[in-house]
Amino acid sequence: MTSTATSPAELSNEEIFRYSRHLILPEVGLEGQKKLKQARVLLVGVGGLGSPAALYLAAAGVGTLGLVDFDVVDATNLQRQIIHGTRTIGKRKLDSARDRIEDLNPNVKVEAHETPLTSRNALEIIRTYDIVVDGTDNFQTRYLVNDACVILGKPNVYGSIYRFEGQASVFATGDAPCYRCLFREPPPPGLVPSCAEGGVLGVLPGIVGTIQTTEALKLILGIGESLAGRLLLIDALRMRFRTLNLRKDPTCPACGTHEIKELIDYEEFCGVRQAAADDAAALSAVPEISPVQLAARIARGDDFDLIDVREPHEWDIARIPGARLIPLATLVNQLPTLDSARDIIVHCKMGGRSAKAVQQLQASGFRKVWNLSGGITRWSNDVDPSTPKY
């Protein structure tokens, strides 16, 4: 007899033995463990926050875990996304996570949703779950998850991270405030860097993701004092935890006035589409040179200046021979040190910051300026594979 064949309302002997440390906790006990087994939790994103959440929810014996993700495991994920491994690089995150969960606890049923969560599918997907754990990495999906949870009346266990700091709360449960009560509108695109741009201490999503998991388990078990109505701020660098009171905003369009009766266009709401179009327009307006063309100019012994506008800690990781470091923020002060009579080629990691630098130089009267398309990353791909990528 396999343990997975047991009725959802009962625990097999194997399960009783597996969960013994829970069962001897009076606050959990047999009844609590059965509640966990019958629970259905949806994880939106199986990345930094979703990895520890999925592992601990599975270990705890939550009967059904829904996973929403459409990404593939990349080596740069493994510094923090501990559900994945070196062996699963290149695999779909859903398959990688399912393998690990099945190994950790074969009693858990995994429901994989290989799709981005969108206004078209969010209500349908979320509807069948009891609790949502928000482990997304962008504002548009956070507002989408929030509004869908408010509309459906599902608790939204929130966590968010940046560099060394995190936030956690439980939204949309009972009379609790929602994400929009805390932040009515998202910041304009580009103002708050993503973890890919700004970096994140690998263990931080471990701290925040396990706090989200703790809240999800407490909600299922109906024990303790939830973070609903409170915002937990986590500062890993100073190792300070602080709780602030969250109030329900009576004018909140989601949970206050209930103006939001159906899901909206969240990319539009967050200005993402316009920003992407603006970026593309800005990039296309800038004269470019490819890494292969740059290598040819270096080989010919052409006379030009190569300017690297990245940060000093990036310069320490990798650089293109002959480049001079002028971080973008300091470019304006360094203009007098540049010769507008000479050809100037500007580069960064991927080509975005250097495009801005080229525009700044053009605005200051420089005419012979080019952006290295794809930055040092493409230089590594196309010219010199010994240059580390990061």
> Under the criterion CB under 8 A, does residue 187 sit at the interface with another protein?
yes
Binding mask 201-240 for another protein (x = CB under 8 A): ----x-------------------------x-x-x-xx--
Shortest CB 150 distance to another protein, Å: 17
Quick one: which of 373, 165, 159, 122 has its CA closest to 264? 122
Report the alpha-carbon distance of residue 304 to residue 298 in Å, rounded. Answer: 9
HEC sequence for 47-59: CCCHHHHHHHHHH
Binding mask 248-267 for another protein (x = CB under 8 A): -x------------------
Residues 148-177 that bind another protein (CB under 8 A): 159-165, 167
Shortest CB 273 distance to another protein, Å: 17
The strand pair at 40-44 and 240-245 is best described as unpaired
Q: Three-state DSSP class for 211?
A: helix
Binding mask 29-68 for another protein (x = CB under 8 A): ----------------x-xxxx------------------
Shortest CB 204 distance to another protein, Å: 9
Strands (E), the chain: 40-44, 64-68, 109-113, 131-134, 156-162, 165-171, 230-235, 240-245, 288-289, 304-308, 323-325, 343-347, 369-372
> Under the criterion CB under 8 A, does residue 246 sit at the interface with another protein?
yes
> Under the criterion CB under 8 A, does residue 139 sit at the interface with another protein?
yes
- Distance from the first to the final alpha carbon of the chain: 49
The strand pair at 230-235 and 165-171 is best described as antiparallel
Q: Which is nearer to another protein, 81 or 371 (CB)?
A: 81
| Token pair in block for residue 207 | 């701290």
Whether 195 is a known active-site residue: answer yes
Q: Give catalytic residues, as residue numbers.
A: 195, 348
Q: Which residues bind another protein (CB under 8 A)?
A: 45, 47-50, 134-139, 142, 159-165, 167, 182-187, 191-195, 198, 200, 205, 231, 233, 235, 237-238, 242-247, 249
